[in-house]
A and B are shown apart, each in its own frame.
Chain A
Amino acid sequence: MTREVLTSKNSSDAMDDRRHLFPPFFDPVDMIGLFSSNSPLQDVLNTAEAYGLTFPLLFDPAVSLSGHMACSDYAPASARFGPFVDNVIGMNWQLPSGRVVRIGERVVKSTTGYDLLRFLLHSDGRYGQGKDYVLRLRPLAPSSVQLRFDGDATALFKLHQRLALGAWAHWLDRVDEIYRAGEAPFIEVESRCLKGEEELFLDYFRSTALEAGCRIAEAESTPLKMPVLSIKSTANTVDSLALRCCERFGTTCRALLFNGVVLVDLAVGDLNAFKQSHEIFLNALAKEVESYGGHLMGAAAPQPSVNPLERDWSARIEKAWGNL
């Protein structure tokens, strides 16, 4: 088939378009379903819950998935379930021309063609926008253990290393170090588990805290807010980065210890003022983390710089897709 045929917009193509779109569906066996990009995640949770499933990555159930993904690639539960892009397996994507195309699959595992899905999900609206997402849901473990660890910096660092390198790492749903202005940082963990297993988790946490020299407490978790800034960094820089941000911004910073991500809340005031007063710091921070493969994103992140090579690639893709 030639390119001309592929790009013509006749009526049979429109039929084909529809044939290839994701219809509304929910598959509890494969634990996937189609959800509108604008519907609040609470809708997803409600649908999933009826089947004993959940969508674990979220900050605020009232906000849509698009809203979530615009402010961070990672949520606390990414410690266990990976970034948002690994939990969206397909989508109906609206091109700038208005045509809607199916991207991705309705099965989790696929290596068919180029991975446009993850590329587009990270493209910040440059090439169109998601209309519906096929979300990957997870079994909802019926019980959970939630704890807070306090200690000095050395003890918390030891705890971080032990949790991250220990056999239980894969069973921790959230490992966050919380930095608040004027307070000592502390670590919060949450593990979802089966009924009757709570004591096993508690034993593990108690002994690990003891080894690291941390105090342990059952505590309400720090409320999650939609972050204004998300910094993708590495595991061994994430705590010092969170501390720096907390001191600089005077606001709550949450280090996702397993993912190497710092999430920055906006304390009060308006975003523009925040951006202006921290412009130089934010630009320097971006340069710093970019040098080892990280990035900044979210409403407060500076515009990413674009080198000529990338500008050319983007333009060529925009042109090709713009003609569709």
Chain B
Amino acid sequence: MILRRSAENLPRSVKVIRRTAPSCKVLHHPSQLAAYDCDALSFKHFTPEAVVIPENVDQLVAVVKGLAGAGIPFQPRGAGTSLSGGPVAAQGGVILHLSRFRTIEQIDKENRLAVVQPGVVLSDLEKAVKPLGLYYPPDPSTGPVCTLGGNVASNSGGVHCFRYGVTGNYVLGVETLLLDGSLVRFGGPAGGRGDWRDDWKRLFIGSEGTLGIFTRFWLRLIPRPEKVWTLRATYRDLRSASLAIQKLATHPSFPAAIEFMDPRCVELVENSSMRVGLPKGSFMILTEIDGPAVLVDRRLKSIADLLQQCGSEDVAFADVESERLALWKARKALGGLLGKITPNFLVQDAVIPKAVLGEMLEFLYQEADAAGVGVATIMHAGDGNLHPNFLFDARRPGELEKVEKIGSKIMLKVSELGGTLSGEHGIGNDKSPYIEDHFGPLASAMQMAIPNVFNPQHQLNPLKVFPQRKFVA
């Protein structure tokens, strides 16, 4: 059984929570905090003072009121699969782990919407809507575990958002707990502004837990596509691959996804037990068209021809699930492979104009090679959303610093090329150092006005998104 420390030694936050929400589960012993000291950006550790796991909104409200009144910083957390250092206790304080808020409250087929709690796991929603012929398109690769609260907080994307859009495009309304303990609803089933003059939900979507704590969402659903064709092609050179990306992206048949893997990824896969027979040194492109069976069947040839005309000699395509998965194999295997060959990896999430892909990759390779750091790049190519994975061992002195230095150079380059810092992962405290330079002083000041309204002392999730968001008690 869990032992309790004597009351005198308890951190102040725990005393506050025990007083305001006596029935709420609280973790505070050092051994109970270890698992909460990072997200999937696993080499940066921030130990919270305590973790609470509320069972219901009443407990959550009591905890928030208590902490807010006592001047203790706190931050919400879902599955902690983020790659940006978002849901971590950067300034200590308390983590509110919303893992118990996992009820799908309603699925309304006629209105094509779902009402869910923030701790609902993405794939559980998908499982619930699928039998009804409905579809919730945002599909970050952590779908089997990540929570909708985290998805909305970081406006998550995924492979199919090139056509279908990101999480924010599917949020009809949010219910959120504000710092003063009040619950407000922005939007709702109709997805408009509700009885508010301004469209406040827009500020809360993607706010990374810095404005309020979500307690409920109204999410838009769409009919499931009837059939999917997956096509895969490889290219000997980047120019041809880029051309294929550009032609696919502007094709009036609207592909659902366009994915890209660089030759370093291809080599990694081909040198592993997961090899699929891609030519080494090649650039790989995967694309999917989905829709009514008769329509996509008709469109298949034009897409296959397009891939071939851009210079691919090995266009492969499939509509049977198992064969489609085989085409995806190299792409899907990559994440795990990286995990197997390296103790740590850092993945970036920049979005660049597609026309500068070549310039960006060249810069990336030069910087990484000069520093002796491994890098393997994948991209949601339709969106220009680039994920370079830097491979390193944080225990070796100086390695993390080297990677971070490259990272900062890349962020500057991305802004310079007209791109943005994050497409789907969020800023967290990993990319916050670059955000002011990206926005410039005027837009940064405008940005900062938002937390200054809802969370003026930055007590809620301090040091995230903007580095100057430091909580001063």
Contacts and interface: CB of A to CB of B under 8 A. Distances in A.
A–B touch (CB < 8 A): the answer is: yes
Interface of A: 1-3, 5-7, 13, 16-17, 19-20, 27-31, 52-53, 73, 82, 85-86, 99, 101-103, 105-119, 122-124, 126, 139-142, 161, 164-171, 192, 194, 196-197, 200, 203-204, 232-236, 260, 287, 289-295, 304-307, 309-310, 313-314, 316-317, 320-321, 324
Interface residues of B, number: 102
A294 B447 CA distance: 27
A30 B420 contact: no
A82 B165 CA distance: 10
A79 B186 CA distance: 23
A20 to B, nearest CB: 3
A109 B161 contact: yes
B438 interface: yes
Contact of B195 (A126, A142, A291, A316): A291
A3 B422 contact: no
A114 B208 CA distance: 9
B58 interface: no
B292 A167 contact: yes
Contacts of A293: 172-173, 185, 187-194, 218
Residue in B154, B425, B440, B442 whose Cβ sees the most chain A Cβ within 10 Å: B442
Given A106-B353, A235-B111, 6 more contacts: A109-B351, A111-B155, A112-B435, A168-B291, A294-B194, A295-B193
29 contacts: A13-B441, A16-B442, A17-B440, A20-B442, A28-B250, A101-B443, A107-B352, A112-B438, A116-B450, A118-B199, A119-B200, A122-B199, A126-B198, A165-B112, A165-B133, A167-B291, A168-B292, A194-B252, A200-B294, A200-B298, A204-B292, A233-B192, A234-B111, A293-B190, A294-B190, A295-B193, A304-B197, A313-B198, A317-B450
Interface in B8-38: none
B223 A169 contact: yes
Contacts of A20: 439-440, 442-443
A307 B134 CA distance: 37
A291 B187 CA distance: 9
B287 to A, nearest CB: 15
B370 to A, nearest CB: 27
A111 B425 contact: yes
Contacts of A6: 441, 444-445, 448
Contacts of B144: none
B305 to A, nearest CB: 13
Given A111-B423, A112-B422, A234-B190, A30 B384 contact: yes
A107 B420 contact: yes
Nearest to B168: A115
Given A29-B353, A110-B351, A313 B199 contact: no
> Which 8 pairs between the two chains have the least Cβ-Cβ distance?
A293-B188, A294-B190, A20-B440, A232-B192, A167-B226, A320-B449, A122-B199, A139-B252
A20 B444 CA distance: 11
B426 A111 contact: yes
B259 interface: no
Contacts of A142: 252
A145 B113 CA distance: 29
A119 B384 contact: no
Given A82-B169, A139-B254, A317-B449, A194 B302 contact: yes
Contact of B188 (A140, A170, A194, A292): A292
A90 to B, nearest CB: 10
Contact of A30 (B227, B293, B353, B440): B353
A320 B206 contact: no
A108 B418 CA distance: 12
B189 A292 contact: yes
B354 interface: yes
B308 interface: no
Interface in B254-299: 254, 291-295, 298-299
B189 A314 contact: no
Given A29-B250, A235-B110, A101 B168 contact: no
Contacts of A7: 445
Contacts of A203: 294
A109 B298 CA distance: 29
A30 to B, nearest CB: 5
Contacts of A167: 223-227, 291-293
Interface string B153-194: 011110001000110110011000000000011011111111
A99 B442 contact: yes
Contacts of B252: 52, 139-142, 192, 194
A52 B451 CA distance: 42
B464 to A, nearest CB: 11
B452 interface: yes
A217 B254 CA distance: 28
A55 B408 CA distance: 36
B291 A53 contact: no
A142 B424 CA distance: 32
A203 B292 CA distance: 12
A321 B439 CA distance: 15
B248 to A, nearest CB: 10
Interface in B298-312: 298-299, 302
